[in-house]
Amino acid sequence: MASDLPPVPIILVVDDEPAVRLLVERVLVDAGFRVLTATGGSEALGLLERGTAVDLLLADLRMPAMSGTQLALKVSQLRPEVRVLIMAAYPSDDPLGWRVIVKPFPPDLLETEIRRALEGPSARAGSGEFPVDP
């Protein structure tokens, strides 16, 4: 019966680069996720403020106007149940209190990290988390 199936997780992908958004969306749809996209933090927050269902925020670390960590902080305040995974190509001065996946990444690693981030509430150390300087 269809009602016996677990719900399909909804991933909100936020990246200012159209090619990255398209690639990530394609990989996640092929992996069986529902995907929403936004070009930046304010668009993503607008979706969440309207009550759009989202299970996980996948945000680029470096975006104009609002960084991925700034967006993650706002999402955590607005919708604390939403999990967060940050995509980063370079280390950041921002404190990274969320899972991090380092770009470029193979599609299977992205799927693995999304599933891991959706699992336990304290799941944090991503595949490519940048080391914290002492």
CATH number for 72: 3.40.50.2300
Residue 109 in tokens: 């690693």
Q: Compute CA 21 distance to the chain's CA centroid, rounded to the nearest angstrom.
A: 11
Does 81 score more than 60 pLDDT? yes
Indicate whether 1 belongs to any domain: no
Q: Are 27 and 110 in contact (CB under 8 A)?
A: yes
Range of the domain at 28: 9-118
Highest mean pLDDT among 66-70, 86-90, 117-121: 66-70
Average pLDDT over residues 68-83: 94
Indicate whether 113 belongs to any domain: yes
Does 58 score more than 70 pLDDT? yes
Indicate whether 129 belongs to any domain: no
- pLDDT for the residue numbered 79: 94
Could you tell me the pLDDT band of residue 2, with boundaries at 50, 70 and 90? low
